[in-house]
């Protein structure tokens, strides 16, 4: 699915015009964000390298990302990582999702500008990241109050030297301060057309239950950035490889019967979770006993998860004053990505980062979004991957008389 990389950048300013040098880092990031937000078509190729280092450990992961889109709901998003290789393709009428390692694909009616399906599997996580490449740059500055403009640099991208503006920001530059988080980001922006060609972030997280500190460095090199230039129409069609087969669902999901998994939890005591916030405060799920709790497993790279947010916020408003406790657990590789998104979307309930995957393991998370509802006695009464809001409302309405009207409440228009 990946082809030899062509290193290319599109220049939007006439060569006779010399762009004015920016005077402020945040203003430059806002200009870049607007540039990406206005792009109706694009082609981007990026390589992400993440290194996690602890006192007694070190790990490295590389992810290859490609994203192309043109008007009319036509797109192609591809991602390849150690978790698998997948592609989302749409010609505006038909949407294909392809899992290379499983030699299988699905084919359904297209449903808009992004790939739509209910459950995101591990193999698709890189493709989900590819789908977000433009949105990341478009909204990078949204949660910032300041950023520092550093001296210009010339760096090499794919063997080609390019002149860049450089912007840096850290946790102190965010509008909402996050306790006990030490992170910083450096962004290299091509001077000619103000596209992002490289990012570098440093941060720290803790692994549970050992409470071991890990230093995480994430470098993303954008080897191809074409904004406003349309790819040929044939890019947005899918020709199944000869060794692949059409399936209704992928073997990964078929091999784990959702009903059987749910049966392991429904009407049984909810497994304990140790919820640790960014300021180090730990809360046990069992401490909410006598109150019902809703747990949403999600990730920013999961489009179905993000699509649920507006309706979940409405449901939160309908239930929070009735005693329902809300918790979300993200499986993003970098906790800051989830924190920034939730802050930008004004999500009111607490979120916890599943740093080592233990919270997902506790509830046998096979795909996201996963919704889990625990009643006041501590028993699981709702468990479903790829859940929909009406069925969640129905389950909440059965928690007690005070929730009876929740099922019939009108959804957000």
Instruction: Compute the average pLDDT of residues 325-354.
Output: 87
- Longest Cα–Cα distance of the chain, Å, equals 72
**Secondary-structure percent of the chain, ordered helix, strand, coil, rounded to 5:** 25, 35, 40
Domains in the chain: ranges and CATH: 8-246 (2.50.20.10), 256-403 (3.40.30.10)
CA 367 from chain centre, in angstroms, equals 14
Cis amide linkage into residue 209, ω under 30° from 0: yes
Instruction: Compute the average pLDDT of residues 110-133.
Output: 78
pLDDT beyond 80 at 110: yes
Question: Rounded CA gap, 253 and 120, in Å?
Answer: 10
* pLDDT digits 0-9 by tens, 164-177: 999 999 988 988 76
Q: What percent of the chain shows pLDDT beyond 90?
A: 57
Sign of the Cα torsion 30, 6, 80, 75 reads positive
Question: Rounded CA gap, 153 and 217, in Å?
Answer: 20
Question: Rounded CA gap, 87 and 130, in Å?
Answer: 9
Map residue 284 onto helix, strand or coil. Answer: strand
Let me know: does 214 contact 206? Beta carbons within 8 Å. yes
* pLDDT digits 0-9 by tens, 130-167: 998 999 999 999 889 999 999 999 999 989 999 999 99
* pLDDT digits 0-9 by tens, 26-58: 999 999 999 999 999 999 999 999 998 888 888
Instruction: Compute the average pLDDT of residues 323-334.
Output: 89
Q: What is the pLDDT of residue 356?
A: 74
Of the two residues 222 and 283, the one the predictor is more confident about is: 222
Contacts (Cβ under 8 Å, ≥6 apart) of 182? 170, 171, 203, 204
Contacts (Cβ under 8 Å, ≥6 apart) of 311? 389, 411, 412
Query: Which pTM was predicted?
Result: 0.68
Q: Render 180-212 in DSSP notation, one character per residue.
A: T---EEEEEEETTT--EEEEEEEEEEEETTTTE
Task: DSSP letter for 172, please.
Answer: G
pLDDT band for 267, please (50, 70, 90 cuts). Answer: very high
pLDDT beyond 50 at 94: yes
Q: How many CB atoms lie within 10 A of CB 39?
A: 18
Map residue 126 onto helix, strand or coil. Answer: helix
Of 277-286, 340-349, 403-412, least confident by mean pLDDT is: 403-412
pLDDT beyond 50 at 6: no
Map residue 301 onto helix, strand or coil. Answer: coil
Task: DSSP letter for 412, please.
Answer: P
Q: How many CB atoms lie within 10 A of CB 386?
A: 17
CA 390 from chain centre, in angstroms, equals 24
Question: Rounded CA gap, 325 and 383, in Å?
Answer: 16
Contacts (Cβ under 8 Å, ≥6 apart) of 227? 10, 12, 35, 36, 39, 41, 42, 193, 195
Q: What percent of the chain shows pLDDT beyond 70?
A: 85
């Amino acid at each position: 699915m990946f082809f030899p990389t062509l290193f290319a950048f599109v220049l939007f300013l006439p060569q006779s015009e010399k762009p004015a040098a920016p005077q402020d880092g945040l203003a430059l990031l806002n200009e870049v964000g607007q540039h990406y937000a206005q792009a109706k078509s694009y082609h981007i190729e990026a390589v992400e390298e993440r290194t996690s280092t602890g006192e007694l450990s070190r790990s490295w992961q590389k992810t290859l990302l490609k994203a192309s889109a043109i008007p009319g709901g036509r797109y192609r998003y591809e991602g390849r990582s150690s978790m698998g290789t997948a592609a989302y393709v749409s010609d505006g009428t038909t949407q294909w999702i392809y899992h290379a390692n499983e030699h299988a694909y699905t084919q359904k009616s297209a449903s808009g500008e992004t790939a739509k399906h209910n459950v995101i599997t591990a193999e698709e996580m890189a493709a989900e990241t590819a789908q977000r490449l433009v949105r990341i740059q478009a909204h990078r500055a949204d949660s910032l109050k300041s950023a520092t403009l550093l001296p210009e640099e010339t760096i090499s991208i794919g063997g080609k030297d390019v002149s860049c503006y450089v912007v840096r920001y850290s946790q102190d530059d965010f509008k909402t301060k996050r306790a006990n988080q030490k992170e910083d980001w450096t962004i290299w922006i091509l001077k000619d057309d103000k596209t992002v060609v490289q990012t570098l972030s440093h941060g720290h997280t803790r692994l549970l239950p050992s409470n071991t500190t890990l230093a995480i460095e994430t470098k993303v090199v954008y080897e191809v950035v074409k904004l406003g230039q349309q790819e040929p129409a044939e890019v947005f069609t899918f020709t199944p490889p000869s060794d692949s087969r059409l399936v209704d669902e992928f073997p990964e999901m078929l091999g784990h019967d959702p009903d059987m998994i749910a049966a392991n939890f429904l009407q049984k005591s909810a497994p304990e979770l140790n919820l640790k916030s960014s300021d180090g405060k730990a809360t046990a799920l069992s401490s909410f006993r006598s109150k019902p709790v809703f747990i949403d497993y999600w990730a920013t790279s999961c489009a179905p998860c993000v699509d649920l947010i507006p309706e979940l916020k409405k449901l939160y408003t309908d239930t929070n004053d009735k005693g329902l406790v809300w918790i979300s657990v993200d499986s993003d590789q970098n906790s800051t990505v989830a924190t920034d998104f939730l802050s930008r979307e004004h999500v009111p309930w607490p979120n916890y980062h599943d740093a080592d995957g233990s919270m997902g393991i506790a509830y046998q998370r096979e795909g996201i979004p996963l919704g889990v509802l625990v009643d006041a006695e501590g028993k699981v009464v709702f468990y479903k991957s790829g859940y929909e809001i009406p069925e969640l409302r129905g389950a909440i309405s059965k928690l007690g008389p005070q929730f009876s009207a929740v099922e019939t409440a009108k959804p957000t228009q």
